[in-house]
A = this chain, B = another copy of it.
Amino acid sequence: MTPCLASPETKIDEYVKMSDPRRRGNSIPGNLMKKNRFLAVAAGLALSAAAIADTPDPTAMAKGISLPDSVWMVVATVLVLVMTPALAMFYGGMVRRKNALSSMMHSFIMMGVISIVWLFLTYSLAFGKTSNGFIGNLEYAWGHIPMAHANTDGAVPNIPAGLHMLYQLMFAIITPALISGAVAERMKFGAYVAFTTIWSIVVYAPIACWVWNDNGWLNKLGALDFAGGTVVHFASGMAALAACLMLGKRKAVENKEPILPNNLTMTLVGAGLLWFGWIGFNAGSALALNKLAIGAFVATHMAAAAGMIGWLICEKLRIGKATALGAASGLVAGLVAITPAAGYVQPVPGALIGFIAGIVCCYSVNLKYRFGFDDSLDVVGVHGVGGFLGAILTGVFASIVANPTIADQLKGGQLMLIFHQFIGAIVIGAFSFVASLIILATIKAFTPLRATEEEEIEGMDEALHGEAAYNL
């Protein structure tokens, strides 16, 4: 030790004494805690090691964990958490009155079931070490996840593994919940839970591994997906298409009866909260508070804004009126399309992606009439088409100025990247579509997927759940 370090050490001791960190309710020796964390921050100092050895704070984060990044990721996690109730509002307001609760239940039950499956199994399948690039090992299964240390594989070294698990869980919850819009107003509750749970294990966990695991094969191919444009949106859109085909049309659609949304104020508020949560979804996907997070925040916000404008212009031109449901749908379309691109594009291209998506999705929600499937709440038209479009536009607009870490992916030029984006999306979409068909067919062999005609007429709320949404 050189003499010049002696004095700092004293300072630290003093400091630590002052900041006696006994939390309320716990009487542990004051000078034992928080030191480690504090020292981690000042980690450049030679004397740290010694100090740590002396008095470790057993509740502090491990060395290497960044506290500002961790705070940010906690925030991002709760933001994505709130997206699922928001989705319940968005969808729940759009169905007919008699199906409002059942539609909201489709989202809420995912918060229950997928969380438990994730804790016990699927987080590890998606983010455990993988040698083959197809599926993770079971190192984190059965809840074995450290709370103060990063994952052992070092892929995300700056936040604790428990937090990473939670953040990724929120994505795993909302993805199958998105599918529910396609099957609303007719699918049996039990069959829905079975389908989404199996889908989460058999489809979601693998594709999350392929794209986001450090050794995932699509990751290595060079396809870009910042926050889940393909894993979340295109995959759920294709699963939704499969489900529409397996389930058939609602009676009311067959009979050409008007299907009027029960509460568009709830849908609008849901869209507003989705926007709010989506900041955590996209900017949080930087997994740190860095340039990419801020860039993703800007691009995401601008895409939502431009998506709303795009859809409304399209409506105004086509039917002469700009609708509230159009505003809600357009902002969601913008958010869907910017999801894969958020951390790779500059602000104006970000807005442009949203704008294009707003217009394209405004048209694509009519595909179902053209092709004759019944996608109740337009999951295919918005998440399927929007997710695919976003993947491609990511290839078009990804820029090294926005994100200096993608030099490799851009080596072959923008066209090559677009090609990789195309491949990545097609593989995931096709896998999700085919696997969904197989899962649904299998379930159908055991139990009907669809409510009976009487139940459909009575409404899912009363028939399946024994409730009514409103008694006004």
Further 10 A-B residue pairs, CB within 8 A, beyond A11-B46, A145-B298, A263-B472: A22-B154, A22-B155, A27-B219, A37-B290, A39-B44, A81-B279, A112-B305, A113-B305, A143-B351, A265-B266
Q: Is the CB of B104 within 8 A of A265?
A: yes
Judge if A125 is at the interface, Cβ distance under 8 Å. Answer: no
Q: Please, how many angstroms separate the alpha-carbon atoms of A372 and B66 in the complex?
A: 55
Nearest 9 Cβ contacts at the A-B interface = A85-B272, A58-B404, A115-B305, A67-B68, A148-B291, A112-B308, A260-B471, A2-B4, A7-B46
Copies assembled:
3
Q: Is the CB of B85 within 8 A of A276?
A: yes
Provide the main secondary structure of the chain A interface: helix
Judge if A430 is at the interface, Cβ distance under 8 Å. Answer: no
Known contacts A75-B71, A351-B116, A466-B321; A111 and B304 CB within 8 A of each other: yes
How many Å from the CB of A172 to the closest CB on chain B?
Answer: 12
A272-291 CB mask vs B (1 if < 8 Å, else 0) is: 11011001100101111111
Judge if A405 is at the interface, Cβ distance under 8 Å. Answer: yes
**Could you pull out 27 A-B pairs where Cβ atoms are within 8 angstroms?**
A15-B44, A20-B155, A24-B155, A24-B213, A34-B290, A45-B45, A61-B290, A72-B74, A81-B279, A85-B268, A85-B276, A97-B472, A108-B328, A112-B312, A112-B331, A116-B306, A143-B346, A143-B351, A166-B297, A262-B471, A263-B472, A265-B266, A265-B470, A321-B466, A323-B465, A323-B466, A324-B465
Judge if A414 is at the interface, Cβ distance under 8 Å. Answer: no
A217-228 CB mask vs B (1 if < 8 Å, else 0) is: 001100011100
Hey, which chain B residues are within 8 Å of A324, CB to CB? 101-102, 104-105, 108, 461, 465, 467
Q: Is the CB of B27 within 8 A of A220?
A: yes
Q: Is the CB of B147 within 8 A of A291?
A: yes
Judge if A63 is at the interface, Cβ distance under 8 Å. Answer: yes
Kindly identify, within residues 2 to 22 of chain A, every residue whose CB is under 8 Å from any CB belonging to chain B.
2-5, 7-9, 11-12, 15, 18-22
Which of the candidate stretches A88-96, A235-243, A376-384, A439-447 sits at the interface with the other chain? A88-96
Q: Is the CB of B41 within 8 A of A298?
A: no
How many Å from the CB of A78 to the closest CB on chain B?
Answer: 5
Q: Is the CB of B157 within 8 A of A471?
A: no
